[in-house]
Amino acid sequence: MKRLKFRPGVIVVAAAAALLALTGCGGSTPAASSTADNPYGLIQPGTIRVASLGDSKPYTFADASGNFTGFDVELFKDVAKRAGVDNVVFTGQDFSGLLAAVANGQFDVGVAAIGITDKRKETVDFSNGYLAGYLTVITTKDSGIKDANGLSGKRLGVVQGTLQEAYAVKNFTSTNLVRFPDNNTAIAAVNNGSVDAHFLDYEAAKSYVQQHGLVSAADIPSFDAPAGFAIAKGKTALKAALDKGLAEAMEDGTWKKLYQKWFPGSPMPAQYLPKAEQTATPAPSK
């Protein structure tokens, strides 16, 4: 194998070029980092780089050709467009690293049915909420697990860093938790019997139930942690623009249309519907 040798002088030149590229001050290229050109403080002006998940259908997932789609993806693109940004680039991450990647500036936003909690607010800011629902335990038809009590002494999968993990640690104290990086590996473990059940978001659970002939054993309400878009702290203009876009998407029925498309048959949290449609059921305070 040929060894690559770097001469110190070459490294200095390369580093200087990289720095110029980063600061946008290279020769004739106009500086793009001014507030006027980049009001939202985006990593790359005109583009929103989103940290997401490839296997949380129907919230966020990569289709057969690798394109990101799903409820959260389509809603976010719609909201970004309202904020004046058409170019949105999604990248799949492990859930456990997602908020840190947004906080340290690798991504502009995190979009992955991320529940808003005080704990997470220590790391990132959030848009207003756009989704509220249940967390679900799924298992095989013959596991014998019929409800949350049935998890006692069993092996339960959770994706690291999720609210499911936190809930299980607190409430399923006689269950053996097995942590996975993502839903796909956890579901594979359910199917090959190395865990007895997996604990994930309600709608993603539905998809896996259909796909693998699994059954749902318990639904846990998670309405106190509605999902929001995660944004690095201090990006107040970006947060304001996303909140404004979200409110518009709810008021003109876009949110409802996307909800019906991706979650057909699921009851709709009334607080995200156009105001005129909220009269029947009073909106919950959160």
Indicate the SS3 state at residue 219: strand
Stretch binding ligand SNW (CB under 6 A), from 31-39, 83-91, 146-154, 220-228? 220-228
Q: Which residues does residue 125 pair with via DSSP β-bridges, in sequence order?
A: 231
Which residues, in sequence order, are CB contacts of 184 under 8 Å at separation 6+?
55
Binding-site member from 79, 159, 238, 241 for ligand SNW (CB under 6 A): 159
Q: How far is the C-alpha of 285 from the C-alpha of 283, rounded, in Å?
A: 6
Distance between CA 12 and CA 67 in Å, rounded? 38
Q: What is the DSSP letter of 24?
A: T
CB of 241 to ligand SNW, least distance (A): 22
Residues 3-32 touching ligand SNW, rule: CB under 6 A, are: none
Q: What is the identity of the amino acid at 224?
A: D
Q: Which region among 33-41, 139-147, 225-233, 258-266 touches ligand SNW (by CB under 6 A)? A: 225-233
Number of H helices, E strands in the chain: 9, 13
Cα–Cα distance between 111 and 79 in angstroms, integer?
12
Residues numbered 56-115 forming contacts with ligand SNW, rule: CB under 6 A: 56, 95, 112-115
Tokens of 260: 């019906």
Provide φ and ψ at 183, rounded to 5°. Answer: -65, -40
Instruction: List the one residue from 78, 201, 246, 250 that touches ligand SNW (CB under 6 A).
Output: 201
Q: In this complex, which beta carbon is closest to ligand SNW, that of residue 42 or of residue 165?
A: 165
Only one of the segments 9-17, 18-26, 126-134, 209-217 lies at the binding site for ligand SNW (rule: CB under 6 A); that segment is: 126-134
Cis amide leading into 58 (omega within 30): yes
Q: Rank residues 92 and 226 by Cβ distance to ligand SNW and give the closer one.
A: 226
Q: Is 180 helix (H, G, I), strand (E, B) or coil?
A: strand
Span interacting with ligand SNW, options 17-25, 173-181, 224-232, 239-247, rule CB under 6 A:
224-232
Nearest in space to 95 (alpha carbons), one of 202, 184, 198: 184
Nearer to ligand SNW, 40 or 95 (CB): 95
Least CB distance to ligand SNW at residue 204 (A): 7
> Rounded to an integer, what distance in angstroms lies between the CA atom of residue 241 and that of residue 17?
34
Is 163 one of the binding residues for ligand SNW (CB under 6 A)? yes
> Whole-number minimum distance, CB 79 to ligand SNW, in Å?
16
CB 55, min distance to ligand SNW, A = 9
Binding residue (CB under 6 A) for ligand SNW from 227, 241, 249, 273: 227
Nearer to ligand SNW, 134 or 140 (CB): 134
d(CA 255, CA 246): 8
Instruction: List the one residue from 53, 138, 168, 231 that touches ligand SNW (CB under 6 A).
Output: 53
CA distance 181 to 58: 18
48 near ligand SNW, judged by CB under 6 A? no
Nearer Cβ to ligand SNW, position 32 or 220? Answer: 220
Residues near ligand SNW, by CB under 6 A? 53, 56, 95, 112-115, 131-133, 159, 162-163, 201, 222-223, 225-227
